[in-house]
């Protein structure tokens, strides 16, 4: 049983959980996903059509995943008002365990999924594992009201999925070294994220951007750059799939900058399996994350863009990250070296366009390098480690 974020929740953790569930099922395991995804607020909800909804229970193999989500119930009223997320996950989890009889519980993200997994494990004796995200240990666990509980979630787990850089911290919490398992990323399946069918240069330069909006995402600077390029007579198209609680603020900025709909088109989040099509329709993708509060945050967007053969314009903060820097080259990336401003982004876009005109973004051995990261064998090895620990 997997307890996790899941589509239609937007974001990297949800995508990772989706592809992991599919990988477990395709390896021959029986998989039941328990989530609260149907309760996600509209600001962070991915737009799913009927064809997308079918894929929730299996991308390649139909109905290979059993899925159940908590739902909003107006009868859950008490003072002070709050959503009883953990209680619902535990209650439904008990029903799933009684019927499904899982061998172990795989939780991804501590709040609320790892906490629910720990409670279910204590109530039923079924062992659980926990995989954390950056915000779990870089923000939430640092708060006085959560740190004690989170320590128990990690120390009581049979296995903690984390990278080596965090092992010392977990050992200081009381997690035995033999319980560490290195997580395997499966969010870039090669039959989905690839450059096949992509034109080497589109008739009109198309710039894309996707993900949550915000100050740390460089959203306003991207729009200011488009305004600068337009004033200089550089004709491009801009397409974005954006969302987040601050989206109305940036939609207003589009209006304030008088960026016309034939120049700028903004749509809602799309499911992870449709992102490659969007990337291949772009000449350039912007990823402008800067001054992000969690230093060890490990975004996957650069790899998504590169695996589809598209040029990336990004910040020095992203390009120098440990898991990214070895893949950066002049042909696949233009780096904004200093402070993110409308002008610095516009300058970087001009450089990227020049590289595309010169054909510098054509041909690479990136796909072969990437496959070593996302090898299916990796998930098999991780599962064997978990089995041994259990």
Structure confidence at residue 260 (pLDDT): 87
Phi, psi of 240 (to 5 degrees): -135, 145
CA-based nearest residue to 154, from 109, 206, 212? 109
> Does some domain include residue 199?
no
Say if residue 26 is in the same domain as residue 169: yes
Whether residue 164 is found in the same domain as residue 308: no
pLDDT at residue 390 in the model? 66
Specify whether 140 is located in the same domain as 53. yes
Per-residue pLDDT reduced to its tens digit, 240-249: 999 999 999 9
Q: Lowest-pLDDT range, 49-53, 188-192, 332-336?
A: 188-192
The percentage of the chain sitting over the pLDDT mark of 70, rounded to a whole number, equals: 92
Average pLDDT estimate for 117-133: 96
Domain assignment present for residue 226? The answer is yes
Task: Indicate whether 147 and 30 sit together in one domain.
Answer: yes
Shared-domain flag, residues 57 and 116: yes
- For residue 10, tell me if it sits in a domain: yes
Is the per-residue pLDDT at 113 higher than 60?
yes
Do 304 and 340 have their domain in common?
yes
Please give the average per-residue pLDDT across 50-76, as a whole number. Answer: 96
pTM of this structure: 0.93
**Residues 162 and 137 reside in one and the same domain:** yes
**Domain assignment present for 201:** no
Report, as an integer, the average pLDDT of 113-137: 95
Q: Are residues 168 and 275 in the same domain?
A: no
Cis check: omega of the bond before 112, within 30 degrees of 0 = yes
Q: Looking at residues 96-107, what average pLDDT do you find?
A: 96
CA angle 131, 301, 201 (to 5 degrees): 155
Residues 59 and 32 in one domain: yes
Q: Band the pLDDT of 120: cuts 50, 70, 90.
A: very high
Q: Has residue 193 been placed in a domain?
A: no
Tell me whether residue 196 is in a domain.
no
Give residue-wise pLDDT tens across range 174-210. 999 899 988 877 778 888 998 888 876 667 899 999 9
**285 and 322 co-located in one domain:** yes
Within a domain: residue 192?
Answer: no
Give the pLDDT confidence score for residue 201 in this predicted structure.
66
Same domain, yes or no, for 364 and 385?
no
Query: Sorting pLDDT into bands at 50, 70 and 90, what band is 365?
Result: very low
User: Domain check: are 221 and 359 in the same one?
Assistant: yes
361 band by pLDDT with thresholds 50, 70 and 90: low
Q: List Cβ neighbours of 202 (8 Å cut-off, separation of 6 or more).
A: 281, 282, 283
Q: How confident is the model at residue 47 (pLDDT cuts 50, 70, 90)?
A: very high
In a domain, 146, yes or no: yes
Phi, psi of 3 (to 5 degrees): -115, 120
pLDDT of residue 297: 72
Q: Count other C-beta atoms under 10 Å from residue 372's C-beta.
A: 8
Domain of residue 9 covers: 2-187+375-389
Residues 6+ apart with CB under 8 A from 282: 202, 206, 207, 208, 239, 310
pLDDT on residue 373: 47
Q: How many structural domains are present in the chain?
A: 2
pLDDT of amino acid 388: 74
Output the domain CATH number for residue 239: 3.40.50.2000
What average pLDDT does range 114-138 have in this prediction? Answer: 95
Q: What are 242's two structure tokens? A: 């954006």
- Model confidence at 364, pLDDT cuts 50, 70, 90, reads very low
Rounded to 5 degrees, what are φ and ψ at 231? -65, -30
């Amino acid at each position: 049983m997997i307890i996790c974020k899941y589509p239609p929740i937007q974001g990297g953790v949800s995508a990772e959980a989706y592809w992991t569930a599919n990988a477990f099922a395709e390896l021959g395991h029986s998989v039941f996903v328990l989530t609260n995804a149907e309760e996600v607020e509209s600001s962070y909800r991915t737009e799913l059509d009927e064809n997308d909804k079918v894929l929730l229970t299996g991308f390649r193999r139909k109905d290979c995943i059993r899925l159940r989500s908590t739902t909003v119930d107006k009868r859950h009223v008490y003072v002070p008002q709050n959503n009883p997320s953990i209680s619902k996950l535990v209650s439904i989890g008990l029903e799933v365990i009684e019927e499904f009889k899982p061998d172990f519980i795989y939780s991804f993200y501590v709040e609320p999924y790892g906490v629910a997994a720990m409670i279910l494990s204590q109530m039923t004796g079924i062992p659980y594992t926990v995989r954390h995200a950056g915000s779990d240990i870089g923000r939430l666990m640092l708060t006085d009201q959560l740190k004690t509980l989170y320590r128990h979630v990690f120390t009581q787990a049979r296995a903690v999925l984390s990278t080596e850089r965090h092992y010392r911290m977990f050992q200081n919490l009381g997690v035995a070294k033999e319980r560490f398992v290195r997580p395997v990323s499966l969010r870039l399946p090669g039959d989905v994220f690839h450059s096949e069918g992509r034109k080497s240069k589109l008739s009109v330069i198309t710039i894309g951007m996707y993900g949550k909006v915000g100050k740390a995402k460089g959203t306003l600077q991207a729009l200011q750059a488009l305004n600068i390029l337009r004033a200089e007579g550089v004709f491009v198209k801009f397409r974005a799939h954006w969302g987040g609680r601050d989206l109305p603020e940036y939609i207003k900025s589009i209006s304030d900058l008088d960026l016309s709909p034939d120049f700028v088109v903004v749509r809602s989040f799309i499911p992870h399996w449709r992102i490659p099509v969007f990337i291949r329709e772009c000449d350039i993708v912007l990823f402008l994350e800067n001054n992000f509060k969690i230093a060890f945050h490990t975004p996957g967007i650069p790899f998504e863009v590169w695996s589809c053969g598209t040029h990336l314009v990004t910040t020095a903060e992203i390009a120098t990250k440990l898991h990214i820097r070895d893949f950066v080259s002049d042909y696949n990336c233009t780096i904004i070296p200093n402070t993110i401003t409308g002008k610095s982004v516009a300058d970087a876009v001009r450089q990227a366009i020049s590289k595309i005109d010169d054909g510098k973004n054509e041909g690479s051995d990136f796909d072969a390098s990437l496959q070593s990261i996302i090898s299916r064998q990796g998930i098999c090895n991780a599962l064997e480690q978990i089995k041994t620990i259990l």
